[in-house]
Amino acid sequence: MKKRIGEPIAVRRYGVQGESDREIVLIIGKPIPPGTPEGDWCCPVLIAGLGEEIFNFVEGVDALQTLQLAQTFARSELEASKRPITWGDGEPGHLGLYRPILADYGLWFQRLIEYGYDLAIEAVGHVAVQLQRRDPRVRETIERARTQRG
């Protein structure tokens, strides 16, 4: 059965490490407005290439939230495959789909998580600088990462 994605607005192609002939395609469709004033927006998501196609309508309160939730859904499904999925020249598992910080427990909790995230980035950056000065292997790894980022 052919799935209806509607109007695609984002397409990403992935590979699988060790399976050069396999391509996984993620398609996110244009968010669809609700049919009633109380209804939710929905966003079609299609993932092909993992076996049976995965198709879902992800719902949200507005178009932006449906797009964010569509990416979260896609990441979850791709990770659940347990395959070494690759994107571009990145390492297996790096999908380019970021995990959002949910505000389900209120704004104070979201800000707390964001603050902790910022502190962790700062701490890891500090440790990386120190290690880079002492260990040439760390220096090479950091340089390789910078080169890959462009």
Q: Please give the residue that has the higher pLDDT: either 59 or 136.
A: 59
| Same domain for 116 and 72 | no
The pLDDT, as a whole number, for residue 63 is 94
Note whether residue 134 is domain-resident. Answer: yes
Write out pLDDT tens, residues 33-90: 998 888 899 999 999 999 899 999 999 999 999 999 999 999 999 999 999 999 988 8
User: Phi/psi of residue 80, each to 5°?
Assistant: -65, -20
| Same domain for 123 and 79 | no
Listed as own residue / partner, the contacts of 83-86 with beta carbons closer than 8 Å and 24 or more positions apart are: 83/16, 83/50, 84/16, 84/17, 84/18, 85/14, 85/15, 85/16, 85/17, 85/24, 86/14, 86/15, 86/16, 86/17
Q: Taking a C-beta distance cutoff of 8 angstroms, is the pair 51, 57 a contact?
A: no
Answer with the one of 86, 121, 141 that is the final residue of a domain.
Answer: 86
Model confidence band, residue 1 (pLDDT cutoffs 50, 70, 90): very low
The pLDDT, as a whole number, for residue 143 is 78
